[in-house]
């Protein structure tokens, strides 16, 4: 291998999504010579096939739905969404799948880029197959960070190859509205895409093995979403699955689906929203004693625990700690600081921002589900508490009774729940369901992460009239001691 095909850097990052970019940004800013490897678009899944395009599809849908419910505005909403305009807006928000702006940012941050497929090739070694067929060997003086994320996990469905199903990528980048869309799944992707495509003109059928939607959130929140999906015409099929799928003829004949209950559905497209798998099948894990295709287990510094020498890091979705872009970027900030401090021989416990450790993945993972209504949640749910035998006090309140919510929508439908540790008297979980609740979530995240005692939280005065007044109502309700406790022995509340 020639010298030009063998290069040495302080840090090599495999994967240039938001997580890899943030790792590289932190190490480069610390003075470490950093290179990032990417086989697709710089900016990754979030920028082109997930967060950005999905929210670009959903925002017009939610705005249209809210306007249609508001007196004085409802009469102006005289027709359906302009699907063509929404798709064009989505294209702009995805930069028309052109990553030149992201490349400019890498250059401005002093981060080197090599396009191609990167694989581990031993201790601190990475090989890259470039688009022109060359192989480049990269050596890392200090660290290699695997930030390859996840891909769609497809079920073993007979006839799948001939069907050419959508994954989340096709669902967020499609250039035309399918007349009939079938969705297999009950999670975030399934419910968000059902919300979007039904409003854009598809007849959506959602098929779920589960007895309800969104089994990881509070049931009251999932029920509100289910009610609205049914109201707008989504056909929900629970407790069943697809047993076979085939395209009986040409592309215009549709996809013929048989369900577990024997019923049949014909759809123009089938979206499989059945989970995620780590993108580690072909990244050279075997060269460092790991098993290809598996999740990478790390400690709280995001160092891979099964590899000696503190040089291999797994950051973001690939470590399975919290499959969310904002959590991956949080991990990246910590991992970048850890790599920099280790390279300089510094103590990881004495940095200006405290100990470098990813504690938020354990106690306060915030998530917004952009359905109608929105769901915003952080920390424990009642099911989490019951499953682990943890005693919590449960406080509920109707958000529609708050003046700010009525200003938002006179017929506001929503609900809030706090979980409170009765011994420490701190919030350990929060769920809000209703229009506009996403902006409530950071206050709950701060309350949980900061372990703010209720006696102090009581003095955080919400502005009137805003939806944030729900905080006051929840705390007032708890003060009046109207809600019983749930623990390992009882889950009634």
Residue 33's pLDDT is what?
A: 98
Considering only residues 252 and 325, tell me which one the structure prediction assigns the higher pLDDT.
Answer: 325
CA angle 318, 338, 52 (to 5 degrees): 45
In a domain, 59, yes or no: no
198: phi then psi, degrees, rounded to nearest 5: -60, -45
How would DSSP label each residue in 111-164? -EEEESEEEE-STTEEEEE-TTS-EEEEEEEEEEEE---EEE-----TTHHHH-
Going by C-alpha positions, the residue among 412, 447, 374 that lies closest to residue 188 is 374
If asked whether residues 108 and 169 sit together in one domain, one would say: no
If asked whether residues 262 and 290 sit together in one domain, one would say: no
Going by C-alpha positions, the residue among 48, 39, 36, 19 that lies closest to residue 109 is 36
Q: How far apart are CA 327 and CA 52, in angstroms?
A: 16
The rounded Cα 20 to chain-centroid distance in angstroms is 16
In a domain, 341, yes or no: yes
Conformation bin of residue 239: beta by default, left when phi > 0, alpha when psi is -120 to 50:
left
CATH number at residue 413: 3.30.390.30
Q: What range defines the domain where residue 205 resides?
A: 160-274
If asked whether residues 14 and 118 sit together in one domain, one would say: yes
Lowest mean pLDDT among 174-188, 279-293, 348-362, 461-475: 348-362
Per-residue pLDDT tens over the stretch 408-427: 888 899 999 999 999 999 99
Under the banding of pLDDT at 50, 70 and 90, the label for residue 87 is very high
Residue 490's pLDDT is what?
A: 38
If asked whether residues 131 and 268 sit together in one domain, one would say: no
Under the banding of pLDDT at 50, 70 and 90, the label for residue 2 is low
Q: How far apart are CA 81 and CA 198, in angstroms?
A: 11
The pLDDT of residue 373 is above 60: yes
The pLDDT of residue 483 is above 80: no
Q: Cα dihedral sign for 300, 305, 308, 312?
A: negative
If asked whether residues 29 and 126 sit together in one domain, one would say: yes
CA angle 443, 447, 450 (to 5 degrees): 125
Residue 252's pLDDT is what?
A: 65
Question: For strand 34-38 and strand 312-314, is the pairing parallel, antiparallel, or unpaired?
Answer: unpaired
> Which of 248, 274, 300 marks a domain boundary?
274
In a domain, 74, yes or no: no
If asked whether residues 257 and 290 sit together in one domain, one would say: no
> Which of 274, 301, 334 marks a domain boundary?
274
If asked whether residues 123 and 260 sit together in one domain, one would say: no
Conformation bin of residue 448: beta by default, left when phi > 0, alpha when psi is -120 to 50:
alpha
Asked if residues 111 and 145 have their Cβ atoms less than 8 Å apart, the reply is: no
Residue 489's pLDDT is what?
A: 41
Per-residue pLDDT tens over the stretch 160-198: 888 999 999 999 999 999 999 999 999 999 999 999 999
Residue 406's pLDDT is what?
A: 92
Q: How many residues does the chain have?
A: 493
If asked whether residues 116 and 166 sit together in one domain, one would say: no
The chain-wide mean pLDDT, for the chain, equals 93
Q: How far apart are CA 372 and CA 386, in angstroms?
A: 28
In a domain, 366, yes or no: no
If asked whether residues 396 and 329 sit together in one domain, one would say: no
To the nearest whole percent, how much of the chain has pLDDT over 90?
A: 87
Residue 119's pLDDT is what?
A: 98
Element (H, E) at 360: helix 360-363
For the residues 2-14, what does the mean pLDDT come to?
89
Q: How far apart are CA 61 and CA 488, in angstroms?
A: 41
């Amino acid at each position: 291998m020639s010298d030009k095909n063998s290069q040495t850097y302080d840090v090599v990052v495999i994967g240039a999504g938001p997580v890899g970019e943030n790792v590289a940004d932190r190490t480069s800013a610390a003075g470490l010579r950093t290179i990032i490897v990417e086989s697709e678009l710089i900016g990754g899944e979030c920028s082109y096939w997930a967060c950005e395009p999905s929210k670009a599809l959903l925002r017009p849908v939610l705005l249209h739905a809210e306007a249609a419910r508001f007196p004085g505005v409802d009469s102006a909403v005289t027709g359906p969404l302009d699907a063509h305009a929404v798709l064009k807006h989505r294209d702009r928000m995805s930069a028309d799948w052109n990553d030149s702006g992201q490349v400019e940012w890498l250059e401005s941050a002093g981060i080197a880029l090599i396009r191609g497929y990167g694989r581990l090739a031993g201790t601190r070694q990475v090989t890259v197959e470039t688009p022109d067929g060359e192989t480049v060997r990269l050596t890392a003086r200090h660290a290699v960070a695997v930030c390859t994320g996840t891909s769609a996990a497809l079920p073993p469905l007979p006839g799948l190859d001939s069907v050419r199903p959508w994954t989340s990528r096709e669902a967020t980048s499609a250039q035309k509205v399918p007349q009939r869309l079938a969705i297999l799944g009950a999670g975030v992707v399934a419910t968000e895409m059902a919300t979007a495509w039904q409003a854009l003109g598809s007849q959506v059928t959602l098929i779920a093995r589960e007895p309800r939607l969104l089994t990881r959130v509070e049931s009251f929140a999932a029920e509100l979403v289910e009610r609205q999906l049914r109201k707008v015409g989504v056909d929900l099929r629970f407790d069943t699955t697809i047993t076979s799928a085939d395209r009986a003829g040409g592309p215009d004949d549709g996809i013929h689906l048989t369900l577990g209950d024997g019923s049949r559905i014909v759809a123009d497209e089938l979206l499989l929203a059945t989970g995620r798998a780590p993108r580690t099948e072909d990244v050279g894990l075997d060269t460092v004693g790991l098993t290809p295709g598996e999740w990478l287990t790390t400690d709280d510094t995001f160092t891979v625990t099964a590899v000696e020498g503190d040089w291999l890091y797994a950051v973001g979705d690939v470590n399975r700690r919290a499959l969310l872009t904002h959590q991956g970027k949080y991990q990246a900030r910590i991992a970048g600081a850890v790599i920099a401090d280790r390279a300089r021989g510094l103590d990881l416990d004495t940095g200006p921002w405290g100990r470098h450790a990813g504690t938020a993945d354990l106690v306060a993972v915030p998530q917004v589900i952009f359905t109608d209504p929105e769901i915003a949640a952080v920390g424990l749910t009642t099911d989490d508490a019951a499953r682990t035998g943890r005693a919590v006090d449960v406080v509920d309140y109707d958000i529609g009774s708050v003046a700010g919510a009525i200003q938002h929508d006179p017929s506001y439908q929503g609900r809030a729940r706090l979980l409170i540790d009765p011994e420490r008297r701190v919030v350990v979980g929060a769920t809000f369901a209703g229009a506009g609740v996403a902006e409530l979530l950071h206050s709950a995240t701060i309350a949980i992460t900061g372990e703010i005692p209720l006696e102090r939280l009581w003095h955080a005065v919400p502005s009137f009239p805003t939806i944030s007044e729900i905080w006051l109502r929840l705390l007032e309700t708890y003060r009046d001691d109207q809600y019983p406790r749930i623990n390992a022995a009882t889950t009634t509340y």
